[in-house]
Amino acid sequence: MRFTLATLLTAVAASPAFAATGPFFSLGNTDFVVLLAFILFIAVLFYFKVPSTLGSMLDKRADGIKTELEEARALREEAQTLLASYERKQKEVQDQADRIVTAAREEAESAAVQARAELARSLERRIAAAEEQIGSAQAAAVKDVRDRAVTIAIAAARDVIAKQMTAADGNKLIDDAIAQVDAKLH
């Protein structure tokens, strides 16, 4: 109510109607007619409660803005919580990935050490097998040489004995061999 009274007094006090000639309160004075129309307009606005309607609309709008701001704050806080949660999860996943990589490296190093040890054992077995093969080949070669030497010696002895032995010497040797066999068997 103060606002409208102050507006009305200002409008009347600063009115150019005081500068006009002739009576102010006459319908012939356009300033007076404009003043009446303005007062009637203001009265119609108050009669239909336009200021209170505008005030309630502005209050509703202000309340809507407040609720939107509160919702925005709530959403912002929720987003910050989610962001912090995701950052924690990301850190946990990164830590887990680092642990997995470290474990994989350790396993790879362990497997490499084990593979080297297995390779060394395998080489030792192969060297031992090769030495064994060489030893058996050497023994076979020595036996073969001995067998050939014996065969050659027997052939040479047969030739020598055949040239030097007579039939009587041969019969005597056969009789001696039979006697030795007979003595050994009984």
pLDDT of residue 17: 47
- Six token digits for residue 161: 């004995």
Every domain of the chain and the residues it spans? 70-164
Residue with tokens 């939107």: 68
DSSP run (H or E) holding 24:
none
- Ranges of H-type helices in the chain: 2-13, 30-47, 50-164, 167-185
- For the segment 96-109, what is each residue's pLDDT rounded down to a tens digit? 999 999 999 999 99
Dist CA 129 CA 123 (whole Å):
10
Amino acid at 92: E
Is the Cβ–Cβ distance between 68 and 61 less than 8 Å?
Answer: no
**Per residue in 136-185, pLDDT tens?**
989 888 888 888 888 888 888 778 777 777 777 778 878 888 888 888 88
Q: Which residue has the tokens 């005597």?
A: 172
